[in-house]
């Protein structure tokens, strides 16, 4: 399963943008630490059209084994309880507050070019 690296950009004090660009079917994004964030918002784009049937699922964990990528990963949900998993573009707030999160793209097609971003807001101290 290919890995999408992802990168972090601090866009203002206490607000980070985590982005995985040009992900493809079968990719699993590197996990990023978001422990302590009081708000998480995810946006996925590039899924619409072109015969794509791949599905992007946002996963979170409090107990991953980061060096091996193993661990327990669960599908995150929005405030209504719906899974953050879709084969269409979406923008949603994350209900849970995991310590780690990552995107997971299914292998339904050979499509590429999905962009996945998370805005993580941390309380000011």
pLDDT in tens, 48-83: 656 666 788 999 998 866 656 667 899 999 999 999
Q: Locate all alpha helices (DSSP H) within the chain, ordered by sequence.
A: none
> At residue 14, does pLDDT exceed 90?
yes
The closest alpha carbon to 19, from 37, 32, 36, 35, belongs to: 32
DSSP state of 14: T
Inform me whether the pLDDT recorded for 1 exceeds 70. Answer: no
**72-76 — which CB contacts under 8 Å span 24+ positions?**
73/102, 73/104, 76/42, 76/101
> Alpha-carbon distance 78 to 43, whole Å?
12
Per-residue pLDDT at 118 exceeds 70: yes
Query: What's the chain's Rg over C-alpha atoms?
Result: 14
- Once rounded to an integer, what is the mean pLDDT over residues 82-90? 90
pTM, two decimal places: 0.85
Q: Which residue has the tokens 């619409």?
A: 48
Output the pLDDT for position 69.
Answer: 61
Q: For residues 34 and 122, give the distance between their C-alpha atoms in angstroms, rounded to a whole number.
A: 9
**pLDDT, the chain, mean:** 85
Cα 77 to Cα 58: distance, rounded to the nearest angstrom:
8
Structure tokens at 105: 């793209």
């Amino acid at each position: 399963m290919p890995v999408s690296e992802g990168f972090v950009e601090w866009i203002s004090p206490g607000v980070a943008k985590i982005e995985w660009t040009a992900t493809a079917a079968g990719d699993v994004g590197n996990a990023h630490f978001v422990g302590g964030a009081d708000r998480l918002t995810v946006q996925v784009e590039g899924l619409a059209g072109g015969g794509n049937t791949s599905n992007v699922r946002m996963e979170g964990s409090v107990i991953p084994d980061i060096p091996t990528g193993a661990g327990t990963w669960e599908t995150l949900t929005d405030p209504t309880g719906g899974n953050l998993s879709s084969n269409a573009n979406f923008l949603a707030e994350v209900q849970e507050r995991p310590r780690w999160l990552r995107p997971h793209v299914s292998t339904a097609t050979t499509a590429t070019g999905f962009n996945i971003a998370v805005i993580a807001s941390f309380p000011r101290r």
